Amino acid sequence: MALAPEVDLGAARHDRAAFRSFVDSYVAGRADDYDREQRLPHDILAALAEHGYWGAALPTSAGGAGMDMVTLGALHEEIGRGCSSLRSLLTVHTMVAATLHRWGGERAKRCWLAELATGRRLGAFCLTEPEVGSDARAITSTARRDGADYLVDGTKKWITGGQLADLFLVFARCGEEPAAFLVEADAPGVRVEPVSDLLGTRASMLAQVHLTDVRVPAWARLGREGAGMLVLTHALDLGRYSVAAGCVGIMQACLDASVDYTGQRRQGGQPLRERQLVRRLISDMVTRLHAARLLCVRAGELKDAGDPATLMATWVAKYFASTSAMRTASDAVQLHGANGCTEGTHSVSRYFRDAKVMEIIEGSSQIQQLVIADDAYQHQPGAPGWSVVVGRRA
Ligand SMILES: Cc1cc2nc3c(=O)[nH]c(=O)nc-3n(C[C@H](O)[C@H](O)[C@H](O)COP(=O)(O)OP(=O)(O)OC[C@H]3O[C@@H](n4cnc5c(N)ncnc54)[C@H](O)[C@@H]3O)c2cc1C
């Protein structure tokens, strides 16, 4: 897809104030329409390109914006505050671009990296299958060697941005282990089937992607054969971090809407905000918001420091932020009463539906609980290297 060909990345300011202003100007007022129409218009994708946000996580030497991870988290939080569907698209694209940068060979990078960095081409992440979700190791898609190429077969489901993407990062079984491949959307044998009417993130243009004997050159494999789980771990870690930050954005949007509404809505002769039980819900929203944001910043700092403890910090951040976003969105609907149950002038029903999705994607809450508890048992107090879960050195 052709988007904003001339992008002056050097001109973009990369701080929270700039991200907030971008979201307020381009996204927030239109997100309910995107949700209703179940699509993101071209102009908003082009606006992201003009601001250098598609390549935010890539270094400037690769044509990206060179943001550190804490700054990237702030960007994804702000986009998530405006529109979770757009943030979802940005998440999967960022995962594809970063995976190519980290694991791709020279030829693959030459072919696609600059295109992804500028948003001239969009990426989507293809792991889940109709019968395989949480247990990624069990994927059934296959890649079999055929001379200098692979032939890739399988079906990928629930692919965010699948209707728009030019490049799919596909995980397929190569012998015993999964491996990662970049597959062009217009390659012979690729068929994209739109998925619509989702509960939340309705504008994220999901698709089911069918792959039948798709010929993929060996240089389009990312990472070694047999190293697919490692590639996947890093890609999902970045995705999880982005989703966690997006959940903080949902919480901020819920809080802003609730403070505004309860300040104006009068019942029993006074604004709702004067009621103690209302103030209790608001105070809990504020507290969860601050805690989730701090967990995300901590995970981002550990990423910037190259500390492997970031993996667990990100699990914790995503688990807390997604479950907190759900509670906060539920409280926001509660505070809006019937007005929160409609798709009218208030966006809280969208926040509520979007928040539910966040408890399922990038590792469901149950999978996160299992991983976090496993880690706790492996690092008992007193064992070598133990301190606290999120600060522990591996
Ligand atoms: C809006 C949306 C966008 C998505 N985008 C993408 C995308 O871009 N790319 C992609 O590859 N996938 C995507 N997905 C798929 C998503 O990653 C999966 O839905 C998720 O991994 C869960 O898999 P599943 O839905 O098959 O649920 P299942 O794995 O079948 O799980 C069903 C339920 O069982 C629970 N469960 C599973 N295993 C265990 C266990 N061991 N112990 C306890 N409970 C368990 C789960 O927590 C869940 O509650 C998307 C999904 C949605 C809804």
More confident residue, 49 or 387: 49
| pLDDT classification of 271: cutoffs 50, 70, 90 | very high
Name the token pair of 307. 């500390």
CATH 2.40.110.10 in the chain, residue ranges: 125-225
Q: For CATH 1.20.140.10, list the domain ranges present in the chain.
A: 229-391
Question: pLDDT band for position 226 (50/70/90)?
Answer: confident
Exposure string of 178-193, with b = 16+ CB inside 10 Å and e = fewer, is bbbbbbbbeeeebebe
Q: Which residues are catalytic?
A: 362
Q: What is the pLDDT of residues 322-343, one digit of tens each?
A: 999 999 999 999 999 999 999 8
Report CA-CA distances (Å) from 104 to 28, 33, 55, 124: 35, 38, 16, 16
| pLDDT value, residue 362 | 94
Q: Rounded to the nearest 5°, which phi and psi values hold at 365?
A: -55, -40
Q: Indicate the average pLDDT of the chain.
A: 93
From atom 36 of ligand 1, which residue's Cα is the shortest distance away?
366
Q: Is the CB of 366 under 6 A from ligand 1?
A: yes
Q: What is the mean pLDDT of residues 5-12?
A: 40
160 lines ligand 1 (CB under 6 A): yes
Q: Is the CB of 258 under 6 A from ligand 1?
A: no
Q: Report the nearest-CA residue for atom 23 of ligand 1.
A: 133
Nearest residue (by CA) to ligand 1, atom 50, is: 158
The residue count for the chain: 394
Predicted confidence (pLDDT) at residue 383 exceeds the cutoff of 90: no
Tell the CATH topology of 9-122. Butyryl-Coa Dehydrogenase, subunit A; domain 1 (1.10.540)
At 388 the pLDDT is: 42
Examine the pLDDT at 384 and tell me if it is beyond 90: no
196 lines ligand 1 (CB under 6 A): no
Start-end ranges of CATH 1.10.540.10 in the chain? 9-122
Is 372 close to ligand 1, i.e. is its CB under 6 Å away? Answer: no
Which ligand 1 atom is the nearest neighbour of the CA of 136? Answer: 21
CATH of 125-225 among 2.40.110.10, 3.40.718.10, 3.30.70.120, 2.40.30.10: 2.40.110.10
Q: Which of 168, 242, 318, 360 to mutate to test the pocket of ligand 1 (most atoms within 8 A of CB)?
A: 360
- Per-residue pLDDT at 324: 98
CATH of domain 229-391: 1.20.140.10
pLDDT of residue 8: 39
